[in-house]
Amino acid sequence: MSERKVIRRALISVYDKTGLIELGSALHKSGVEILSTGSTAKTLAAANIPVIAVEDYTGFPEMMGGRVKTLHPRIHGGILADQNNAEHLSAIADHEIAPFDLIVVNLYPFTQTIASTDDFAECIEQIDIGGPSMLRGAAKNHGSVAVVSDPSQYPRLLAAIAAGGFTQDERVMLAMETFRTTAEYDMAIATWLGEQTHTSDDWRAQVWHRISGLRYGENPHQSASVYGAPGVSGIAQAKQLHGKEMSFNNYTDADAALRAAFDHSEPCVAIIKHANPCGIATGSNVTIAHQKAHACDPISAFGGVVAANREVTVAMAKNLGEIFTEVVIAPSFEAEAITILSKKPSIRLLTIDGYTIPRDELRPISGGLLIQGSDLIDAAGDDPKNWKQVSGDPVSAEILSDLTFAWRAVRAVKSNAILLAHECASVGVGMGQVNRVDSARLAVNRAGDRSQGSVAASDAFFPFADGLQILIDAGVVAVVQPGGSVRDEEVIAAAQAAGIAMFFTSTRHFSHA
């Protein structure tokens, strides 16, 4: 398996010309005969690297705008011939076909094209046919042929040339990588066509590339790794500036914190612990937002994960420096803020560029996968202009602002969720309880005296008036909830009797998992 197979004859046909001249030069210096196509052949020839044009070898010109150039028996016969099979060698000899030892091909930029244009015909033209055919043929015949499908593999190829060729094990690895490349390419085409024909719901495919292994999963006995999907920006793509290696739980909490902070357009800071917020607040700047968020539940914030939707300033960093924090993630950090926070060797500082909330949420279940559209704050019922006031007097602009904040913030809380807010900051959060009464009690207990004069948001309707009554008794002055219970009238009557304002949104933000 370690014996190297000498490279004597190569076919190169690449769209991405990165490293092409260096590669061609190395092959030529090693005495390798090079066949090539179209612009690849012209590029090599212009660099004075001897090259045989494919059409000269096949005796058949390129046609149909380049759609047909390598789809020829003299090409595919040379790729697919098992050089350890006497029958194969006899067959290609009979037809004056010479075998290849190396195929270097990269594909038309289909994914880049669909990302840059809506022109259907242009996208179709960027579906490579000859390239995948050559790659798959060479990968299948890896016992005889080495196949290189990406410029990132050129250093390995150059090393193999210098060492006298690839080993069998190395060719198997290249074949595996090639099949992954063509599979991902075809998946992108199939997914795009499904979107164009509005049939994408009956078939889903996605590729994740391993970024790194993790020390362990949620618990030490569980293995874990982090993977990323191409073309997206999320916690998996965040850049770590400082601190210990991220853990599985760090990733899940940081993801929840990012989402909570970016649910708001104003400067916002979210502090997350075990996937639930122990503080969310907006402010005129992130320093004020962080102070307000931390004040919600300082005990739970110990060892928490902090996300900001604006740059972390020096002032915010000074405050964070006094609190044990596992992770801080933001679009950027002021240089001195990094210096301040880096004095703590363990704190993880991460930046994320161009974060957007994913369009879909994927949740594995035994035997399958659940896919749903992400719960975005963009429904008609999320706009206070569309809310229906069902009790109480008209509210002030300040109260309406708090209600609007609370409604956006409660989305980040696991159901059953109750969030109390004052001055656009959470002051008490009740989450993850099996009934809404317990969530109301928890939110009120967490808030203490701060519940007096606060507003409340409930992620789903109150099935009975008892949960609402707990909030009323604690001094809540206004409530926003979806409505829609069969006992809405009973709940409205309780609010009327207490003289508090209550609004129905007709939209629910229930977070079950």
- What pLDDT was estimated at residue 75? 85
Active site residue 274: yes
- Shared fold status for 4-198 and 380-504: no
DSSP character for 333? B
Strands 426-430 vs 455-458: parallel, antiparallel or unpaired: unpaired
Q: Which helix (DSSP H) or strand (DSSP E) does residue 478 occupy?
A: strand 478-481
Query: Residue 389, Cβ neighbours under 10 Å: how many?
Result: 14
Locate 304 and state its tokens: 């928490």
Average pLDDT over the chain, rounded to an integer: 93
pTM of structure: 0.86
Name the CA radius of gyration of the chain, rounded: 31
- What pLDDT was estimated at residue 2? 63
- What pLDDT was estimated at residue 286? 96
- Identify the segments of the chain with pLDDT beneath 70: 1-2, 60, 63-67, 69
DSSP character for 312? B
Q: How far is 318 from 305, CA to CA, in rounded Å? A: 16
Q: Where are the domains of the chain?
A: 4-198, 235-351, 380-504
188-211 CB burial, b ≥16 within 10 A, e <16: bbebbebeeeeeeeeeeeeeeeee
- What pLDDT was estimated at residue 358? 86
Catalytic residue among 140, 244, 318, 344: 140
- What pLDDT was estimated at residue 349? 98
- What CATH number matches the domain at 380-504, 3.30.300.10, 2.60.40.650, 3.40.50.300, 3.40.140.20? 3.40.140.20
| Class of residue 381 by CB neighbours under 10 A (exposed 0-12, middle 13-18, buried 19+) | middle
Fold of 235-351: Cytidine Deaminase; domain 2 (3.40.140)
Active site residue 292: no
Locate 36 and state its tokens: 């090539």
- What pLDDT was estimated at residue 69? 66
Q: Determine the 3-state secondary structure of 229 from DSSP.
A: coil
Q: Determine the 3-state secondary structure of 204 from DSSP.
A: coil
- What pLDDT was estimated at residue 65? 67
Q: Does domain 4-198 have CATH number 3.40.50.1380?
A: yes
Catalytic residue among 17, 88, 244, 274: 274
In single-letter form, the type of residue at position 186 comes to D
